[in-house]
Structure 1
């Protein structure tokens, strides 16, 4: 792990979301506490509510992403990784959010292929690595989220 890397959530998570900047972490905050997500949203506002919502939409196995976000997100299967220079070794799926995160990870964009005709995100099919737009609804709207969910063999949310 890089010295400047911050992991928020379960370090052994199967889904890792790589972002360039961290949220404000409330004092005494624990990722596995009952109100962890509500506390993060209260401390960081609508911007982080959107990020956490998109994470939930990409992680939930069914379609009940609201409940998943509020009660389970970051507790078992996901972690946020800020400032990463290496991928988390235990993860199955790596969601690299935005070009800034991809650059920090030194991803070779020439080895990545477009995901089945979709220009919204790029995937390296051999390693479950997904280069996504930054998690904002203007850059990564629900239609694009559903495209990625279908690729992950998850039911559509729309």
Structure 2
């Protein structure tokens, strides 16, 4: 499976990272909790999902997880195709979600751990949810968040964004477009 997203691979995510996807992910999304399934309870690293595993999580864990995966895929498809190649991989965000998202070569990660901010990294860190962001900062996340409004914040130097939780009501299409614009701006800035 070809590497999707960006043509150059960023350095690996730290061994401390826990979640789904690939260690060299360009787009890392952080949420507070992992799916409540036995097979993920002892997860201590980043592991790529297998084809069909997103569907299995959705069936076992319900609508909330379906929304997380759908919003993530919709966001990737909203990114500027000149900079990000997600749209070149699949014909729709739905196909991307099923065939590539968080799988080997996807250039994506969904993490349940503290962001490991690396100087000069091209990686973009997206923290889903204001409350989760505040919890991470209280736990020692070294980010200087500048709040753009009550839902979005940015640390341009560390390439960190805070946005509403990945849910249709909280991160609707209009807000996905705003987040896409912020990601594109960060991707073009030198670190």
Q: Report TM bin, short chain.
A: 0.7 to 0.9
Match of 1:34 among 21, 28, 51: 51
Q: Whole-Å Cα distance in 2 between the matches of residues 122 and 17 of structure 1?
A: 14
Q: Whole-Å Cα distance in 2 between the matches of residues 143 and 114 of structure 1?
A: 18
Q: Does 2:109 align with 1:79?
A: yes
Q: Is the 8 A contact 1:85 1:104 kept in 2?
A: no
More strand by share: 1
Q: Give 1:66 shift.
A: 1.1
Q: Give 1:97 shift.
A: 1.0
Per-residue deviation, residues 85-143 of structure 1 (Å, max 9, x unmatched): 3426467110101134213422467x32245xx65411112222110111122211111
The verdict on how the C-alpha distance between 1:133 and 1:108 changes in structure 2, with shifts beyond 3 A counting, is farther
| Matched residue, 1:15 | 27
Q: Give 1:153 shift.
A: 3.6
1:59-98 equivalences in 2 (<5 Å): 59-60=76-77, 61-62=86-87, 64-75=92-103, 76-82=106-112, 84-87=113-116, 89=118, 92-98=123-129
Q: Is the 8 A contact 1:120 1:140 kept in 2?
A: no
The verdict on how the C-alpha distance between 1:99 and 1:147 changes in structure 2, with shifts beyond 3 A counting, is closer
Q: Alignment RMSD, CA only?
A: 2.9
Q: Is the 8 A contact 2:75 2:180 kept in 1?
A: yes
Structure 1, unaligned stretches of length 5 or more? none
Q: Is the 8 A contact 2:124 2:183 kept in 1?
A: no
Q: Whole-Å Cα distance in 1 between the matches of residues 111 and 19 of structure 2?
A: 5
Q: Whole-Å Cα distance in 2 between the matches of residues 128 and 69 of structure 1?
A: 24
The verdict on how the C-alpha distance between 1:85 and 1:31 changes in structure 2, with shifts beyond 3 A counting, is closer
Q: Does 2:36 align with 1:24?
A: yes
| Matched residue, 2:133 | 102
